[in-house]
Structure 1
């Protein structure tokens, strides 16, 4: 085990652990944001630059500071390393600049975007964004396209995190979409807009940190904060059948994978609980699911805030009788 200090908090981790995962072991505000890193997808990370941190001391053997900020998602810790995240003014200024860069081409779609309320870019913009913009040039624009009969792609919202491409490479039977072109013209697309039709293609929706990939069966039906997330299970031969059903009354509006506080699909029985398209898109009848109970949303989100507010009101009612 090696010892590393992150924001004045010491933690012991295994050799080879990245700074980001060491910070996640501590938890709380110490954890840098990550828009492209996804622990369940090999090779992810190093694209968005939001997780950059300052290394004030490289190791016990070589205590010199690293001259530049480093990507915490791909930099392994060293014994005696001292890392600054929330305690570094350089990191804060850099994160504000990265946020501004990500928002250069991102449209103001929050009022009509299905990702609103659980969007990582919204959280990043709220914490590090600026009131105005210095950008005067025209934004890049793409026409929305259908990739399959259940998935809508809005490239205008895409931040090129590559998560969906890694899902296509590592989870599905065949890769049918990826990055086309380079630079400002780069875009997620399919070969001559061919449909994505494999059994696990819907997981690209779960891994997308913004509203670039959305569920066509849920689009414009409701805001997520009006729905009740419930843990549910079903008998399925393709996947584990463990999911979260989002309900309004007795009606299921959408089905998603079970995510942790970092927005990543949880491991169940030692395996990542990806769900198949049949569970996600076709099972919208309550009788098809065994409803296990309310899902606690513990990541920074509108839904979590509403949950806490409800709990506070109930507690206040118990104490005051009003």
Structure 2
């Protein structure tokens, strides 16, 4: 019989849980749940080697372990730091962490344009949430922002580098899902940018997933561009017959019209099942889909506003059977 693996005990903001060795602090915090979970702009669990780029998940380790109770001298990236037995971590309860998060947010917004009113990502943008929680009222920098012209990197994907924060998620998902990656991070430092080699188009059967993993509005769906604000649409779980993928997706509807199709995501906005480009871009008619019911979007953005009633026990599940659509009478 194999020996049972001893779990490590970790305390985050006074809440204790047990995790397997090798688990990151961020994943341990997600196991606890609630507001103690650090934000993550580059970490993406389904993608190998993601994380460690944006620094929004910095936390303070006030106790290294039971074997060595000394605190870590600097804030650490929770997505890249493994748990030790007896470790104690401060996130919300740490002034250092909150100040660092404000600084990181300011850094991310140095070149990012405040064009939320015209951005398709508005309402489901992680940087928008960070800016609201930790951003300053105005920039403290005097130099000009770097600017790029919007670029079509294929018949269905629009790239707006002005909004890119170089999280590299799109590059990683292309490496993982496609055989011949045709885009990446070019140049270095402040000149770095996401682009294709000699303006090649991204036409792989699963390349549309770069839109779902982008935390900002740098990569958007051309077939749904400016079609509707996300809070005017209703996300519905739907399935279709597809030979390339599982055919499980979320269709965003406005009336009887399918505005856009996205992959299903968990409460941390991470894709559960990758979908192919045929399902995403070419099935914009209800005749292709079998509607299962409303998709409960568990985020503190405007997506669920006036659409769904959250369950009273506030269980953090996207496929929550208790979530129901509000009637007109209830909305009033």
Q: Which runs of 5+ in 2 are unaligned?
A: 1-6, 311-322
Question: Structure 1, residues 134-184: CA drift from partner, whole Å, max 9, x if none?
Answer: 011000011111111000000000000000000111111211100000001
2-side partners of 1:315 and 1:286: how far apart? Answer: 23
CA distance in 1, matches of 2:40, 2:329: 39
Q: TM-score, normalised by structure 1?
A: 0.94
Find the residue that maps to 2:60 and give its secondary structure: strand
TM-score by length of 2: 0.91
Equivalent residues in 2 for 1:147-296, closer than 5 Å: 147-266=153-272, 273-296=273-296
Give a deviation string over 1:269-297, Cα, whole Å, max 9, x none. xxxx1000000000011010001100000
Q: Which of the two has greater helix per residue?
A: 1
Partner of 1:98: 104
1:309 offset after TM fit, Å?
Answer: 6.9
Cα RMSD for the two superposed structures: 1.7
- SS of 2:61's partner is strand
Question: C-alpha distance in 2, partners of 1:186/1:2?
Answer: 40
Matched-pair contact (CA < 8 Å) for 1:260–1:299: no
Which consecutive residues of structure 1, in runs of 5 or more, have no partner in the other structure?
A: 267-272
Alignment correspondent of 1:269: none
Q: SS at the partner of 1:100? A: helix
CA distance in 1, matches of 2:149, 2:328: 49
Aligned residues: 313
1:37-79 CA distance string (max 9 Å, x none): 0000000000000000000000000000000000000100000
State whether residues 253 and 260 of structure 2, in contact with CA within 8 Å, keep that contact through their aligned partners in structure 1. yes
Asked if 1:133 is matched to 2:139, the reply is: yes
* Aligned position for 2:297: 297
- Asked if the contact 1:147–1:190 (Cα under 8 Å) also holds between the matched residues in 2, the reply is yes
Aligned to 1:19: 25
